[in-house]
């Protein structure tokens, strides 16, 4: 169980970091990137099948899905930050 949690955190950190790089002003530090990456993974799990996108399976696919979802989360957060 601990291994699964560590893997989730690592995937979340990498996904959030990638999303932070791709979205200008999107970096939130290590903890923020982990949270954005994990939230992004959840968002991507719901949004990507609706639009008909299937990335695949495996570690790289999970990181890529998390980054796509992280970009969506950061895009939505940019509206909240401005106000």
Q: Give the residue extent of every domain in the chain.
A: 2-82
- Please measure the distance between the N-terminal and C-terminal CA atoms of the chain and give it in whole angstroms: 40
19-46: pLDDT as tens digits: 888 887 656 777 887 788 888 888 888 8
Buried/exposed 38-67: b ≥16 CB within 10 Å, e otherwise: bbbbebbeeebeeeeeeeeeeeeebbbbbb
3 has a pLDDT exceeding 70: yes
């Amino acid at each position: 169980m601990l291994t699964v949690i560590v893997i989730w955190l690592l995937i979340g950190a990498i996904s959030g970091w990638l999303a932070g790089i791709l979205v200008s002003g999107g970096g939130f530090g290590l903890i923020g990137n982990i949270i954005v990456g994990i939230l992004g993974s959840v968002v991507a799990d719901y949004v990507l099948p609706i639009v008909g996108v299937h990335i695949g399976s495996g570690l790289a696919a999970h990181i890529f899905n998390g980054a796509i979802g992280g970009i969506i989360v950061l895009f939505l957060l940019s509206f909240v930050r401005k106000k």
